[in-house]
């Protein structure tokens, strides 16, 4: 699906960056400010719009994101990373023509992703005309930067996703993704509110025969980031959500 060009009288030249955020007061401002105002690929310049979906945090995440210059949408009930992402997708779809959106990206609020990798995904999107791009953290270049238990955990969840849904993407749980505005409706109606939505999005893309391309990306972990990782109970919930989804379709 082609995303560049013109909608009505307005050119599609915006990359909308959605950041789901919960209790990220320390990192959120830096993550918002790290997104470049423009990105240029093959002489085409894309403007960026940053949209933070603040998922009923108990700290200053909302105000810090607002002060950093993001559009901030606030949940008044903590609903989960999937629900926050769905809210961001809904906002973009409602405002796509007004803003002139060509591509939509998601990025984690904890700073584990480099905003510079947005350019890598955008370059690949323009070059391949793929419907969806997924940042792949599970490659040899990240071996020194990604704790072994995180690597094994993510590989395990990807294997489960492959077994349940036939998804061949190597890093199904990556928070850094990009999709064309034309393909967004096909993946935005996912049902899982928690982290299992990452696999569900890929399944919805597979059901619609969308082209999905993986792009190697970097990763940065801190003690705080690692402390916020999935607990054993959280992984159990994630797998339960995926099995339930597979059973009920």
Q: Give the tens place of pLDDT for each residue, 92-137.
A: 999 999 999 999 999 999 998 888 899 999 999 999 999 999 999 8
pLDDT digits (tens, 9 = 90+) for 32-90: 999 999 999 999 999 999 999 999 999 999 999 999 999 999 999 999 999 999 999 99
What's the chain's length in residues?
Answer: 249
Domains of the chain: 5-248 (3.90.550.10)
pLDDT for the residue numbered 154: 72
Tens-place pLDDT, residues 220-231 = 766 665 555 555
- At 2, give phi and psi (nearest 5°): -80, 135
Each residue of 229-248: pLDDT tens digit?
Answer: 555 557 888 898 889 988 88
Q: What totals of helices (H) and strands (E) does the chain contain, helices first? A: 9, 10
Residue found under tokens 């984690």: 108
Q: What is the DSSP string of 190-236?
A: ----STTHHHHHHHHHHHTT--EEEEE------HHHHHTS--HHHHH
Which residues, in sequence order, are bridge partners of residue 50? 17
Cβ-Cβ contacts under 8 Å for 93 (sequence gap 6 or more): 184, 185, 188
Please report how many Cα atoms fall inside a 13 Å half-sphere around the Cα of residue 151, on the Cβ side.
Answer: 13
Per-residue pLDDT tens for 179-227?
Answer: 999 999 999 999 999 999 999 999 999 999 999 999 999 887 666 655 5
CA distance 200 to 88: 16
């Amino acid at each position: 699906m082609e995303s560049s060009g013109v909608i009505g009288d307005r050119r599609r030249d915006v990359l909308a960056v959605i950041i789901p955020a919960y209790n990220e007061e320390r990192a959120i401002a830096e993550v918002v400010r790290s997104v470049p105002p423009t990105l240029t690929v093959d002489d085409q310049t894309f403007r960026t719009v940053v949209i933070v979906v603040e998922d009923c945090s108990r700290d200053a995440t909302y105000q810090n994101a607002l002060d950093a210059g993001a559009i901030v949408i606030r949940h008044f009930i903590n609903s989960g990373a999937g629900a926050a992402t769905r809210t961001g997708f809904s906002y973009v779809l409602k405002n796509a023509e007004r803003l002139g959106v060509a591509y939509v990206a998601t990025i984690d609020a904890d700073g584990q992703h480099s905003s510079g990798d947005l350019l890598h995904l955008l370059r690949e999107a323009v070059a391949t005309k793929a419907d969806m791009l997924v940042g792949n953290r599970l490659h040899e270049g990240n071996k020194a930067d990604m704790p072994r238990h995180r690597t094994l955990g993510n590989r395990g969840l990807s294997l489960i996703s492959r077994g349940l849904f036939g998804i061949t993407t190597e890093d199904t749980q990556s928070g850094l993704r990009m999709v064309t505005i034309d393909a967004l409706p096909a993946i935005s109606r996912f049902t899982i509110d928690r982290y299992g939505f990452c696999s569900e999005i890929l399944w919805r893309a597979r059901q619609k025969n969308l082209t999905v391309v993986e792009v190697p990306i970097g990763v940065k972990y801190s003690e705080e980031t690692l402390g916020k990782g999935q607990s054993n109970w959280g992984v159990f919930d994630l797998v339960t959500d995926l099995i339930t989804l597979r059973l009920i379709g």
